[in-house]
Structure 1
Amino acid sequence: MARHDSLFFPPAANGWAHPGYTPRPTAQQAARQEHGWRLFGLWILFGAALYQMALCLVHTHVFAVRTAMVGAAEFVLYLGCLLVLARRLQLDVVAILSLCAAYLLLLALLRGSLDAKGFRDLLIVLLFYWLGRSVGDVRTADRFLRILIGVVLLFGFFEMFFVEYYSRVFNVFSYYVSQGGLRGTNWIKDNTLALNSMRPEGIGRTILPGLLGAHRVSSIFLEPVSLGNFAVITAAWGLSKEKTEWRWMLFFVGAAMLMITLADSRYGLMTISCLILMRLAFRGRMHYLLMFLPLVCVLMLIGIALFLPDYHGDNMLGRLRITGVVLSEFGIGELMGLKGYNLGFGDMGYAVLLTRFGLPFFVALWIGFWMIRMKDEQGIRFRAYAALYMSLILAISGTSLMALKTAGVLWFLIGCCALREKPAVARGFADTPAPQSANRKASHVS
């Protein structure tokens, strides 16, 4: 009498399996599943870059989009990241998320109010970093960036040369007014673009004003500031590559310079110049010097305020001086994140960050950022370039660093550069262990 016992007869051999048995996927099936999850992760990333443009399109032609709908769209993207991470949930991810949530809840108890924006900003950093670390690598990041650059330039040239039609398709001004981000009156008559798409009279365009006029292109990001930020991230990725990949380096840097020209991004022009100098001068461990750049920036801001107390120009130097004045007046309450968290600091990024999270938490996150183990020299360079980008943007901008449409891309790329163990591919029945004799021989040789 034949025995149907899985201990003696494997399910593949006799066609029978007990109710709790789950067949292992073959190596080919596991590879297809891995590819499917990678594509899903990239669609999430494209969604993070394009969701504002899609919502603006809906707002212009279908119905008014309010802040709640924008928040719901972001929640769907975060949920997608969690679905990707949940398939191989790692203890360190859960621990870091739990510690950050516990800290923010403690701050909420001490303040007497909950800062939802702080939770949202940390989710962007952690989820998109782990998304890149889970499903990304350098090749995937290259392909993603090339496609996204193509989309950005396509819409950018459409806006530059056919601005009237672009304005009909995307009523950016009305979209931001609907969310309460702008006043209902427009200082530029009949303009449907973002307010900063035109520089005020007396300032004008910085890059090629005679050729391109006063209009600053926003492309898919709806704001020229975000296009400039994306251009810096693109240039940082290109400059981090090895010398043997100089063609791709030129491609990414050239695309970045083109986007900066379209957006007339003074910050982007200055930052890319610094990145090029770093690529020429920095080697090996010198990149770790960027760890101290936020402290240097804060001291420089305070120094500008001290040495130029009577300067009130409506330009970048004037903005830096005001930021330095505010930072020099911070007390223990502001530095610990207990006071000033509910104030609008405008373009003062360091003031926003310190009052929202507190200095101890910011220092802990910054140290953790530098403790990430990178795969190779490209990863080490890109982390240093990202540190330069973040440190400088906090000096002149309040919230653009944590805008999902660019922050998601940045942290995904950092995750792609991080060192990680290769996922174990489930073995099929054709994969058999090495013979015992071979194992003995290998151990003898070693």
Structure 2
Amino acid sequence: MQACILLVGMWELARPDQYGAFFNVVDYYVNTRGYDADAFWAGGSLFLSSERPGGRLLLNGFGFHRGSSLFLEPVSLGNWAVVVTIFTAACWRELSRWGRAFMVASTFALLVICDGRLAMTVILLFCLYLPLCRYLPDRWSAIYLPVMLGLLWLGDAFGLLMPNGDNFAGRLGIGLHALGTMDAAALLGVSPEFARLDDAGWADFIQSQSVLIALGLWLALSLTGFGRAPGDRMAKHGTMLFLILCLPISNSLLSIKTAALMWALYGFCFARGRRAADSTPPA
């Protein structure tokens, strides 16, 4: 899957006209997601965020756009790169030397293809933090959500978040503002008005499912035991960190395109941890 996604992404950058004609991205989103064709301001048949305003690209000057590969839009490709990083960390001992080298090199290439700034930041954080997670109980991941909320509220109190800015701090401010202005009906998921909250993932999830289900899901996922295996602990901490780092600014994580692999990895590591616990002889 990684090799296929990499090859399609490279083809997209090399021949965007062929890629656009083959997938016809604009028509797909107009016909299936209710998008307006005029919103695709970048031109061509690519997704509307295939270019950043002002040419802010990692490879600016090379004539490339933000690639999407099989996901048809760049953010999901960045999410895939993050999930693949968690997979690589969780299965590092099972991968061969060549397998490790391929996963590292191909993930870096995908980050460049999609111009994934948030994804690159999350992956760099994982490279520093996940090795430490081998020694941390997996249930400690439950504290990530309240810590994130506390840091965001603190940042907002000191004026570090800009709810109208077209940057990372602005996106965080938008998500925090959307969460803080929800009324009781929206928090319970029974509001008759459904707001468009693409840039505030957790508010979007709450208004459709309720804050009770959101908190219940978080506790169920974070307090489920994965055992003591280093790879399984890294998978657990990586998954929960990915959730709280992405949901404040985007609901793209809820897309089955990339979430499928993440939940498959979650289930695999949970089952592996249970199997190891069942095979351990009693003291």
Normalising by structure 2, we get a TM-score of 0.85
Is the Cα contact below 8 Å between 1:173 and 1:192 reproduced in 2?
yes
Deviation (angstroms), 1:166: 1.2
How many residues get paired?
271
1:403 is the counterpart of 2:255: yes
**Could you say what secondary structure the match of 1:185 adopts?**
helix
Cα drift, residue 418 of structure 1: 1.8
Structure 1 CA distance for aligned equivalents of residues 212 and 39 of structure 2 = 41
Q: Which of 200, 213, 216 is the matching residue for 2:66?
A: 216
In the TM superposition, residue 301 of structure 1 has moved relative to its aligned partner by 2.9
Structure 2 partner of 1:259: 110
Structure 1 residues 189, 411: CA separation in 2 closer, same or farther (over 3 Å shift)?
A: closer
Per chain length, whose mean CA-contact separation is higher, i.e. which structure has more relative contact order (CA < 8 Å, sep 6+)? Answer: 1
Instruction: Quote how far apart the aligned CAs of 1:309 are.
Output: 8.2
Q: Contact 2:160/2:169 (CA < 8 Å) preserved in 1? A: no
Cα distance per residue 1:21-52 (max 9 Å; x no partner): xxxxxxxxxxxxxxxxxxxxxxxxxxxxxxxx
Question: Structure 1 residues 186, 368: CA separation in 2 closer, same or farther (over 3 Å shift)?
Answer: closer
2:12 aligned residue: 159
| Structure 1 residue 415 displacement after superposition | 1.3
Q: C-alpha deviations, 1:277-299, integer Å up to 9, x for none?
A: 11333332255433221222223
CA contact (8 A) 2:201 2:247 kept: yes
Which residue identity lines up with residue 417 of structure 1 in the other structure?
C
Aligned-partner SS, 2:65? coil
Superposed displacement of residue 192, structure 1:
0.5
Q: Report the secondary structure of 1:419's partner residue.
A: helix
Contact kept? 1:228, 1:259, Cα under 8 Å:
yes
Deviation at residue 189 of structure 1 after TM alignment: 6.5
Equivalent in 76, 90, 98 of residue 226 of structure 1: 76
1:92-241 equivalence runs, <5 A: 148-188=1-41, 190-200=43-53, 202=54, 204-205=56-57, 207-211=58-62, 213-241=63-91
Instruction: Name the structure 1 match of 2:280.
Output: none
The 3-state SS of whatever aligns with 1:284 is coil
- 2:222 corresponds to which residue? 370
Q: How does 1:52-71 map to 2 (within 5 A)?
A: none
RMSD of the TM alignment (CA)? 2.5
The 3-state SS of whatever aligns with 1:390 is helix
- Asked whether the equivalents of residues 194 and 223 of structure 1 are also in contact (C-alpha less than 8 Å), the reply is yes
- Identity between Structure 1 and Structure 2 (%): 28
Q: How many Å separate the matches in 2 of 1:178 and 1:414?
A: 33
Q: Hey, what does 2:197 align to over in structure 1? A: 345
Cα distance in 1 for partners of 2:225, 2:138 equals 14
In the alignment, what sits opposite 2:127? 276
- Residue number in structure 1 paired with 2:243: 390
Query: Is residue 218–residue 224 contact of structure 1 (8 Å, CA) maintained in 2?
Result: yes
Q: State whether residues 81 and 110 of structure 2, in contact with CA within 8 Å, keep that contact through their aligned partners in structure 1.
A: yes
Letter in 2 for 1:355: Q
| AA in 2 matched with 1:335 | L
Unpaired segments ≥5 residues, structure 2: 276-283
- Determine the C-alpha separation between the residues in 2 that align with 1:418 and 1:281: 19
**Matched-pair contact (CA < 8 Å) for 1:373–1:418:** yes
Once the two structures are TM-superposed, the CA of residue 236 in structure 1 deviates from its matched residue by 0.9
Q: Does 1:301 align with 2:168?
A: no
Larger of the two Rg values belongs to structure: 1
Match of 2:264 in 1: 412
